[in-house]
Amino acid sequence: MYYSRTKLASVLGICLLGLLLCLPNGMRKPLPSIPWRQIHLGLDLRGGSYLLMQVDLQSLTHDRLQTLSENTRDALLNARLGYQNIAVDADKGVISFTPRSASETEADITALNALPRAVPNEFSVSKREDGSIALTLTPESIRTRAREAVTQSIEIVRRRIDGTGAVDPEITRQGDDRIVVELPGISDPDRIKALLGTTAKMSFHLVDANPLHATYPPQGVSLLPMADPAEGGPLPVFDHVDVDGSDLTNAGAVIDQQSGKWAVSFSFDSTGTHAFAAVTQANVGKRFAIVLDNKIIEAPVIMSPITGGNGQITGGFDAQKATDLALMLRAGALPAPLSVIEQRSIGPSLGADSIRAGIISLAVGFVMVVAFMVLFYGRFGWYADMALLANLVLMVAILSLFEATLTLPGMAGMLLTLGMAVDANILINERIREEVARGRTPLAAMQTGFEKATSTIIDSNATALLAHVMLFVFGTGPVRGFALTITIGIVTTLFTTLLLSRMLMARWYARTRPTSLPV
């Protein structure tokens, strides 16, 4: 029960620091000269937007089949094998073609089996009854790529949203192909929807110079529209990707020195730099199309080789469009398009009502607990109530320090923590009562009561801490908010119960030296 000056100052210092960290949450505009930190309110309290997005897995399969189709052509030509009537069926996940002759069937199958696979057992190669050969994606590989696509999409969505400055967005998976995006404080998410609805798959292709192909494109050439229809009609572009946008390392919005208009500068890694230099060296005087999501942003003529790995896109951008395109290029391309299938906006009035209801419930619960403790334990009940108030202050302080997001379940967790903290004080007071009933002196009763209750309090709170840490690690959304406040509350409960309330009792005893305890 002895508290040195150092220990006394440490306990009081922590309580005062917690009170100082809480202050910014009660200010509309904290002093800008001090780096205050505040609690952020979640979607259910602050209001905002809710987006449910679906990954287009059919498009993912189609893109993979197109890549495999090109690989199939290259593999057969490199093996000096002919083919005809090559076709892609995205619905069934099949690429089929007819061998040049029946004698080459086994050689064709051997060449296709040697193709690299993106995932184990990605496809099988077989001969059909009509003599054609089919390369079929397996259902397992489609499911595997779908899971990977959703996981990758979540990370890219997170990077894009973080780049807009949105505070505490909540991005979670729902089912096999859906992503939930919650944006607190954003009531008009049109810009976010535009950012997430753009795949941002960028590639560089040579333009076919044959004027006949602008009307009748042959196999291996596609007619792609211009992003700005005012710049002309579709252009015949070779399907082969000369430089892939995935090799970009950086992109930014800049002012073009020649035109004075907004542009997007970009730079490649070593692989992209080498490919960009090779294609520009070999095709001086030809048009080189910059394609974004199957639309041509611009198709300039290659005037000279570009070997530095840097370039610039000028496409009639304004500041916002240039910034958004640079952000999407930096974040990376989505593996498949995302479509918004559900959108809800929660007004701030609903959040204000929720906050008011939460504060009322917290205040009523706190007052009832205070009254109970004073009624049953007298002076020691008051000390327990003071520790309880300090517990609440420290919880808010820690949440503010880490700029945590507070939700309605989080407020429920705070109220539950107060109840758990009272349980610990009740254990201590009841133990002290028992020791007084056994005839111990006041100091001995206090000392023994704390010693016997401490192990029980630590054991019960340790098991609760482990359970809520697991909830926070593996939970999502409201579960994480609830687990976070409970976890912080357990730590502050141990401090206020075992150190602060004991200090208050010890200082009272040292000052008054009572002959009996008011418990």
DSSP H or E stretch at residue 360 = helix 348-401
Q: Which helix (H) or strand (E) holds 108?
A: helix 105-113
Give residue 344's pLDDT: 80
pLDDT at 33 (0 to 100): 56
User: Which residues in the chain are classed under CATH 1.20.1640.10?
Assistant: 5-47+347-512
Each residue of 418-446: pLDDT tens digit?
A: 888 888 888 888 898 898 888 888 889 99
Enter the DSSP assignment of 297.
E
Assigned fold of 49-54+146-344: Gyrase A; domain 2 (3.30.1360)
Average pLDDT over residues 168-175: 81
pLDDT band (50, 70, 90) for residue 34: low
Q: Does the structure show a pLDDT above 80 at 80?
A: yes
Q: Count the Cβ atoms, other than its own, within 10 Å of residue 427.
A: 19
Does the pLDDT value for residue 315 go beyond 70?
no
Distances (CA, A) of 133 to 63, 73, 82, 85, 91: 20, 13, 12, 11, 17
Query: Are residues 347 and 187 in contact, defined by beta-carbon separation less than 8 angstroms?
Result: yes
- Predicted pLDDT of residue 401: 87
DSSP state of 101: S
Lowest mean pLDDT among 150-164, 187-201, 296-310: 187-201
Are the C-beta atoms of 237 and 205 separated by less than 8 Å? yes
In the chain, what percentage of residues exceed pLDDT 90? 10
- Please state the rounded mean pLDDT for residues 240-263: 83
CB hemisphere CA count around 516 (13 angstroms):
5
Report which listed range, 256-270, 347-361, 394-408, 482-496, is most confident: 482-496
Would you say domain 5-47+347-512 falls under CATH 1.20.1640.10?
yes
Which of 88-97, 154-163, 195-204, 231-240 shows the lowest per-residue confidence on average (mean pLDDT)? 195-204
Q: What is the rounded average pLDDT of the residues 139-156? A: 85
Q: What is the structure's pLDDT at 490?
A: 92
Spatial separation of the C-alpha atoms in residues 451 and 498, rounded to whole Å? 10
Ranges for all domains in the chain classified under CATH 3.30.1360.200: 49-54+146-344
pLDDT at 350: 59
Helices 57-78 + 105-113 axis angle, to 10: 120
Which residue has better confidence, 177 or 16?
Answer: 16
Q: Per-residue DSSP letters for 389-451? A: HHHHHHHHHHHHHTTPEE-HHHHHHHHHHHHHHHHHHHHHHHHHHHHHHTT--HHHHHHHHHH
Rounded mean pLDDT of 22-26? 82
Q: What is the pLDDT of residue 75?
A: 87
Question: Domain 57-138 falls in which CATH fold?
Answer: Gyrase A; domain 2 (3.30.1360)
Please, which pLDDT band fits residue 397 given cuts at 50, 70 and 90? very high
Closest Cα to residue 290, out of 251, 352, 326, 241?
Answer: 241
488: pLDDT strictly greater than 90: yes
Q: pLDDT at position 338, please?
A: 84
Contact in structure between 55 and 177 (CB atoms under 8 Å): yes
pTM above 0.75, yes or no: no
The 10 Å CB-count burial string (b at 16+, else e) for 84-115 is eebebebeebebbbbbeeeebbeebbebbeee
The region, left, alpha or beta by phi > 0 then psi within -120 to 50, assigned to residue 166 is beta
Buried b (16+ CB within 10 A) or exposed e, 292-310: bbeebbbbeebeeebeebe
**Which pLDDT band, with edges at 50, 70 and 90, does 348 fall under?**
low
* Mean pLDDT, the chain, integer: 84
Higher pLDDT pick, 199 / 29: 199
Residue 55 has a pLDDT of 85
